[in-house]
Amino acid sequence: MSDSETSEQNSQFEQPDRQRLVVLISGSGSNLQALIDAEAHDELGGEIAAVISNRGDAYGLVRAREAGIPAVVLPHHEYDSRDAFDAALVKVIDRHAPDLIVLAGFMRILTPAFVRRYHGRMLNIHPSLLPQYRGLNTHARALADGVSEHGASVHFVSDELDGGPVVVQAAVSVTPDDDEDALAERVLTREHVIYPMTVRWFMQGRLKLTPEGPRLDNHPLPAGGLRLSPDDVTEEDL
């Protein structure tokens, strides 16, 4: 058994009563880092039990290992189908019996069977004010359209790509001299605020997905989710 698997096997027995989450990544992992930092400050409501990446070159793997979190690479291109890849994901995820699966820059479309398995306990962060700009290249598309506001959305994952019920959005103003990198950086900064906050709400049992939609403290959320405006900074501003 490899080191990462050994440490991974042991992690499920540490502090068994704490809420656990598994984070899926594909790249830099700055949102993962925001979650790691929140956990380090006891502001996540649980522990990151494992990190899984579909890319072996994801810097987020370095972040996980430096934080002592078991990190597993499942190269999607080594699997014959999406179903086979998702089945391998399930096998690794379920070893940790997580309460929540968090997609943090995870760039693979998940199959309906996978989404059903984790319905109501899988979140994603998307770099747009959904339902605007589902899919990829959101910043370039927003700039091309000349929008005045852009941002990020945290939503429960559904079969409909980036179409699941939105929990929280954070908006940024788009300036005339914005380019893709500058806009992406400002949106990421907001992501690092709203994702740990939303994950904490779920881990604390405050956020649930009901058949009628997301509820926070048993109150229905506004259509389109709670919105942090460009001037709002923290949860207290919601």
Ligand X SMILES: NCC(=O)N[C@@H]1O[C@H](COP(=O)([O-])[O-])[C@@H](O)[C@H]1O
Ligand Y SMILES: Nc1nc2c(c(=O)[nH]1)N[C@@H](CN(C=O)c1ccc(C(=O)N[C@@H](CCC(=O)O)C(=O)O)cc1)CN2
Cβ proximity to ligand Y: between 11 and 32 the closer is 32
- Does the footprint of ligand Y cover residue 161 (CB under 6 A)? yes
Measured from the CB atom, the residue of 4 and 33 that comes closer to ligand X is 33
Q: How far is the CB of 82 from ligand Y (least distance, A)?
A: 8
Say which of 41, 77, 96, 126 is annotated catalytic. Answer: 126
Q: Interface residues for ligand X in 122-161 (CB under 6 A)?
A: 125-127, 152
Tokens encoding 97: 């019996």
Give yes or no for residue 109 binding ligand Y (CB under 6 A).
Answer: yes
Q: What's the Cα-to-Cα distance from 49 to each of 23, 96, 177, rounded to whole Å?
A: 8, 7, 42
User: Which one of ligand Y, ligand X, none interacts with residue 159, CB within 5 to 8 A by kind?
Assistant: ligand Y
Does 55 contact ligand X by CB under 6 A?
no
189 near ligand X (CB under 6 A)? no
Per rule CB under 6 A, count of chain residues that contact ligand X: 16
> 214 is in the binding site of which of ligand X, ligand Y, none (Cβ under 5 to 8 A by kind)?
none
Do the Cβ atoms of 130 and 153 come closer than 8 Å? yes
String of DSSP letters for 84-145 = HHHHHHHHHHHTT--SEEEESS--SPPPHHHHHHTTTSEEEEESSSTTTT-SS-HHHHHHHH
- CA distance linking residue 159 with residue 176, whole number of Å: 36
Q: How far is the C-alpha of 227 from the C-alpha of 153, rounded, in Å? A: 9
**Piece in contact with ligand Y (CB under 6 A), picked from 36-44, 160-168, 186-194, 221-229:** 160-168
DSSP string, 20-47: EEEEEESS--HHHHHHHHHHHTT-SSSE
Q: How many residues form the binding site for ligand Y (CB under 6 A)?
A: 16
CB of 141 to ligand X, least distance (A): 12
142 neighbors 174 (Cβ within 8 angstroms): yes
Decide if 126 is catalytic. Answer: yes
Catalytic positions are 126
